[in-house]
Chains A and B, each alone.
Chain A
Amino acid sequence: MIPEEPFDRGLRDWFHAATERAPDHLLLAVVDQTPAVQPRRRWWYGVASLPAMPRAGALLAASAVVVLAAAFGLGRGLPGVGTAPATASPARPASVDITFFVNHRWADPGTVVSAGTFRAFGGVEDEGTFGDEIVLEPDVSYTVSRTLRGANGTIVAMMSIRSTIEQATSETVAGTFRIVSGTGAYAEISGNGTVRTGIGPRVDTWPTGTFPERWLGKIEGGTR
């Protein structure tokens, strides 16, 4: 008889080694696409509260639901991959790709000082320095207010990021950013996107150290 454990252990190791980082544009596509999708209401609450109907009445009601569903729902489907939103926006947002080199260090207990340099391409073409104001949440999430100071003006964005320790040697810090204001050439700027931080295996030093961070998103009112 074949002992089961070595095979299962080998299998588990193989599966665990198969963890891959999703392409950045994948999360961006989801964050970009979902605002156009309205979450559906919980329909069963209403159904559950209905009084018991006679069989004929129930059939009639079911038929009515089918007719209504056919009238309003058929052919609409899910706005899936590559499907355009129902309403086209008048101005097409431009893609933006910003790389940061972030320097984190502990100041006082519970306070992290974070600053560094950035370089932006796409809808914003600029480079300069930035500084963060970080609020550490109790559930390993962070709310960050980041001010980018470039040659053409300043941009203030809010980031919501979470740290996830998948295994002993890897950590993912990911989330979203939303531009809230700007000055100079960025006075009318708006936009949002995803944040990915490349901490890699240095889980023991987080959040102290220097590491790259990347924003991918869509903006309007940039320099191009």
Chain B
Amino acid sequence: MTTDLAERAIAGDHEAFSLVAARLVDRLYSMARLILRDSALAEDATQDALVRAWRDIRSVREPARLDAWVYRLLIRSCHAEQRRRRAWSTHVRPLDIDDTDQGRPTLASIHDAVDEVVNRDEIERGMARLTADQRAVLVLHYFLDLSVAEGAAALGVPDGTFKSRLFQARGALRAAIDADTRLGPGRRAEEIA
């Protein structure tokens, strides 16, 4: 985003803000979909974040960080949507990571398989097992390609905290994918049923 456009929006120019919103809306909606895993909730969160952005636009001190500030509002709106619908933990399932199961592939061999190809469906299912907080950290890092410092700024936490959350979220996703691979299609279908 050009600094000029951001400065105009921050000064309260609604036309400039509309352009900022038009430029960001696809990215924000995609983020919300990834975090909330629901189109309707994602729409509500995106709209809420953009309206809040306009209401508080004059509080932005650095035009260059306007995008990061809006991402932060979106993540807050996603949390609010989750709380509102009381669905915060409905997708979270405890994982049984055990390397001693008989007759099933070992964890080491599964890790090898994961390294060879990270199947899209596996990632999709793995994401479903994470909390919205964990998904938000992964979205900032892997979807927006934010560095640790940028991601920390977007969440409003210290760099070390963001790094730790990213490490944990990544580990949880990996464990979820591993568990999914261990179950195999038959067990997976049983568990889902």
Given known contacts A7-B115, A7-B174, A26-B29, A41 and B58 CB-to-CB distance under 8 angstroms: yes
Given known contacts A11-B138, A139-B4, A176 and B29 CB-to-CB distance under 8 angstroms: no
B65 to chain A, nearest CB (A): 16
- A7 CA to B5 CA, complexed, in Å: 38
- A2 CA to B139 CA, complexed, in Å: 22
The yes or no answer to A51 lying at the interface (CB within 8 A) is no
Given known contacts A11-B138, A39-B57, A78-B55, A175 and B19 CB-to-CB distance under 8 angstroms: yes
B49 to chain A, nearest CB (A): 9
What residues on B are CB-neighbors of A21 within 8 Å?
26, 29
The yes or no answer to B87 lying at the interface (CB within 8 A) is no
B142 to chain A, nearest CB (A): 4
What residues on A are CB-neighbors of B115 within 8 Å?
2-3, 6-7
Which of the segments B39-47, B92-100, B157-165, B184-192 contacts the partner chain?
A: B39-47
The interface bits of chain A over 142-186 (1 if a CB of B lies within 8 angstroms of the residue's CB, else 0) are 000000000000000000111010100000101110000000000
Interface of A is mostly: mixed
Given known contacts A30-B21, A42-B59, A172 and B12 CB-to-CB distance under 8 angstroms: no
What residues on B are CB-neighbors of A162 within 8 Å?
5, 19, 22-23
What residues on B are CB-neighbors of A27 within 8 Å?
21-22, 25
The interface bits of chain B over 24-67 (1 if a CB of A lies within 8 angstroms of the residue's CB, else 0) are 01111110011000000001101110111011111100000000
Cβ A34 vs Cβ B23 within 8 A: no
The yes or no answer to B17 lying at the interface (CB within 8 A) is yes
Within the complex, which residue of B2, B29, B48, B120 is in contact with A20, where a contact is CB–CB below 8 Å?
A: B29
The yes or no answer to A79 lying at the interface (CB within 8 A) is yes
What residues on A are CB-neighbors of B18 within 8 Å?
31, 34, 160, 175-176, 194
What residues on B are CB-neighbors of A26 within 8 Å?
25, 29, 43, 46-47
Cβ B58 vs Cβ A42 within 8 A: yes
Within the complex, which residue of A15, A40, A42, A164 is in contact with B23, where a contact is CB–CB below 8 Å?
A: A164
- A78 CA to B76 CA, complexed, in Å: 14
- A176 CA to B174 CA, complexed, in Å: 42
Best-surrounded residue of B21, B33, B145, B173 (most CB of chain A within 10 A): B21
The interface bits of chain A over 24-37 (1 if a CB of B lies within 8 angstroms of the residue's CB, else 0) are 00110111011101
The yes or no answer to B91 lying at the interface (CB within 8 A) is no
Cβ B139 vs Cβ A15 within 8 A: yes
- A192 CA to B118 CA, complexed, in Å: 46
Cβ B5 vs Cβ A139 within 8 A: yes
What residues on B are CB-neighbors of A33 within 8 Å?
47, 51
Given known contacts A26-B29, A139-B5, A174 and B118 CB-to-CB distance under 8 angstroms: no
The yes or no answer to B68 lying at the interface (CB within 8 A) is no
Given known contacts A2-B111, A160-B18, A39 and B56 CB-to-CB distance under 8 angstroms: yes
The yes or no answer to B193 lying at the interface (CB within 8 A) is no
Residues of A within 8 A of B (CB): 2-3, 6-8, 10-12, 14-23, 26-27, 29-31, 33-35, 37-42, 78-81, 139, 141, 160-162, 164, 166, 172, 174-176, 194-195
Q: Can you show 26 pairs from A to B with CB atoms below 8 A apart?
A: A2-B174, A6-B116, A7-B115, A10-B118, A15-B142, A18-B33, A19-B27, A21-B26, A22-B25, A22-B28, A23-B43, A31-B21, A34-B54, A39-B57, A42-B58, A81-B44, A139-B2, A139-B5, A141-B19, A162-B19, A162-B23, A175-B19, A175-B22, A176-B18, A176-B19, A194-B22
